Amino acid sequence: MSKDIRIKRGFTLNLEGEADKILTDIKPSKTFALQPDDFFGVTPKLLVKEGDTVQQGAPLFFAKENPRIHFVAPVAGQVTAIVRGAKRKILEIVIEENTSLGAVAHQIPSLDGLDTENVKELLLQSGAWPFIAQRPYGTLAQPEDQPKAIFVASMTSAPLDVDYDFLLKNNKAEFQKGIDVLAKLAPVTLTTDGNFKGFFEKITNADVVGVTGKHPAGNVGVQIHHLNPVNAGERVWTVNPEDVANIGALFLTGQYAAQRTVAVVGSSVNKPQYVKATIGASLEALFATVEVDNNQLNRYINGNVLSGKATRPDGYLGFYNNIFSVIPEGNDYRMFGWLPFVDNHIPSASTTSLSWLFGKRKAKVNTNLNGEERAMVVTGEMEKVFPMDIYPMQLLKACMIQDIERMEALGIYEVVPEDFALVDFANTSKIEAQEIIRNGIELMIKEEG
């Protein structure tokens, strides 16, 4: 067992609207959708057309980059719409649920007799492969690679993030099974809250490491950087804890599992709580289960308020996120709001605000930019919220000028946009750091493959 680690730099946003530890089932959702945009670096090639009926677990599309990777239907039913955007890009594959069609059944032999290749093949066939992402770049794992480790991060620190010990309380057996499956592929590191390890402490077949510290200590990338950093040419795979349970369920039942428990959080949610749903469930059903205060304009976010994706209130749950955040839009003016030490209700990592005095108070935030974009002037502030041995501003600048060699030298292999979410939040000049890093990574993939 490795030694516990403590992340020193960072900034934890204490927000209003944390989920109560209540787990309810989602109200029936009429439609479900898979959104190919959830899979970074994947160009979808459709296997179904509108009107087709599919069983649960039947493939909907595959990745053009690697045809072995299939993306399957989270529920059985009829494909009612394929929603396309600009340049005919596929945005949503909508399925109207019909449980009578049943599920695709897989023959799962005993795990003891399987080698790495057998396990990979089973995951690929069943459609569970997309649960596995990789570092560098945060793209899907490639089955041809041999990773040096698999990281499962149950320690969380993002604003209003979930407690996996609670979220997985009914899936402990599946979780252990999933860890056993992953351990067939590479050594598994399971990180957990250093102050309260919960049931993760008893998980076998994995190296359980306690992590403490401010956000972004819960980012799997930060944990990898401190425990087993990715060097050029190396691969580390990452799996969300609930997806470990989904993989475990597949190996226990022989059916593709698409359970997605989401904490519906944020100050616009009337009674924030956990909801047991399915990947791609309609938000309509979600809000029928947990009410949202519609007296103001809201922003709906698949994920946390720092790195999540904005969506429409009539959209669908994302593939990976265990949080769904709803916060008020901030399209109003604040007179003289730029003066130091005024409007201290807005959280700030800078001491030009007195918000640090109210450290424990839960803040109500909105989506106002709180200023305008400016040239990069202030130095040292990004490092304060970026607990890696990487120079964030220099890496951002290398990405902006598209200097691949410099990006490589400065550590682009170790970061994904999520790691720059706090830089987005805290930087004085309102630089869109996540977007710059995403563009940088896309360039790296294009040039280096």
Q: In the stretch 295-334, what mask flags binding to another protein with x, by CB under 8 A?
A: ----x-x---xxxx-x--------------x-x-xxxxxx
* Least distance (Å) between residue 331 CB and another protein: 5
- CA–chain centroid gap for 194, Å, is 21
Contact between 205 and another protein by CB under 8 A: the answer reads: no
Among 14, 212, 367, 439, binds another protein (CB under 8 A): 367
Closer residue to another protein, CB minimum distance, 69 or 421: 421
Extract the tokens encoding 247: 């993989």
Region near another protein per CB under 8 A, out of 190-198, 255-263, 316-324, 342-350:
342-350
Contact between 365 and another protein by CB under 8 A: the answer reads: yes
d(CA 104, CA 154): 30
Q: In the stretch 257-286, what mask flags binding to another protein with x, by CB under 8 A?
A: ------------------------------
Closer residue to another protein, CB minimum distance, 206 or 412: 412
Among 50, 145, 201, 435, binds another protein (CB under 8 A): 435
Closer residue to another protein, CB minimum distance, 154 or 366: 366
Extract the tokens encoding 37: 């945009």
Among 83, 105, 173, 232, binds another protein (CB under 8 A): 232
Extract the tokens encoding 3: 């030694």
Extract the tokens encoding 292: 């949202």
Region near another protein per CB under 8 A, out of 36-44, 50-58, 346-354, 441-449:
346-354
Closer residue to another protein, CB minimum distance, 13 or 290: 13
| Count of residues making up the chain | 449
Contact between 351 and another protein by CB under 8 A: the answer reads: yes
* Least distance (Å) between residue 105 CB and another protein: 40
Tell me which residues in 130-169 interact with another protein (CB under 8 A): 159
* Least distance (Å) between residue 162 CB and another protein: 18
Among 183, 346, 404, 445, binds another protein (CB under 8 A): 346
Contact between 350 and another protein by CB under 8 A: the answer reads: yes
Among 381, 439, 443, 445, binds another protein (CB under 8 A): 381
d(CA 404, CA 393): 15
- Count of chain residues binding another protein (CB under 8 A): 77
Tell me which residues in 51-80 interact with another protein (CB under 8 A): none
- CA–chain centroid gap for 84, Å, is 24
User: For residues 71 and 39, is the Cβ–Cβ distance under 8 A?
Assistant: yes
Selection from 257, 254, 253, 111 nearest residue 181 by Cα = 111
Phi, psi of 224 (to 5 degrees): -60, -45
Region near another protein per CB under 8 A, out of 58-66, 107-115, 190-198, 424-432:
424-432
The answer for residues whose C-beta is within 8 angstroms of residue 73's C-beta and 6 or more apart is 32, 34, 54, 55, 56, 57, 58, 59, 60, 95
Residue 368 burial (C-beta neighbours within 10 Å; 0-12, 13-18, 19+) = middle
Closer residue to another protein, CB minimum distance, 205 or 370: 370
User: For residues 60 and 93, is the Cβ–Cβ distance under 8 A?
Assistant: yes
d(CA 421, CA 397): 16
Q: Strand pairing partners for 152?
A: 190
Contact between 389 and another protein by CB under 8 A: the answer reads: yes
Among 393, 396, 399, 407, binds another protein (CB under 8 A): 393
Phi, psi of 304 (to 5 degrees): -85, 170
Closer residue to another protein, CB minimum distance, 179 or 422: 422
Contact between 340 and another protein by CB under 8 A: the answer reads: yes
Contact between 376 and another protein by CB under 8 A: the answer reads: yes
Extract the tokens encoding 136: 């560098």
Region near another protein per CB under 8 A, out of 20-28, 54-62, 67-75, 426-434:
426-434
Phi, psi of 311 (to 5 degrees): -140, 170
User: For residues 175 and 239, is the Cβ–Cβ distance under 8 A?
Assistant: no
Phi, psi of 23 (to 5 degrees): -115, 115
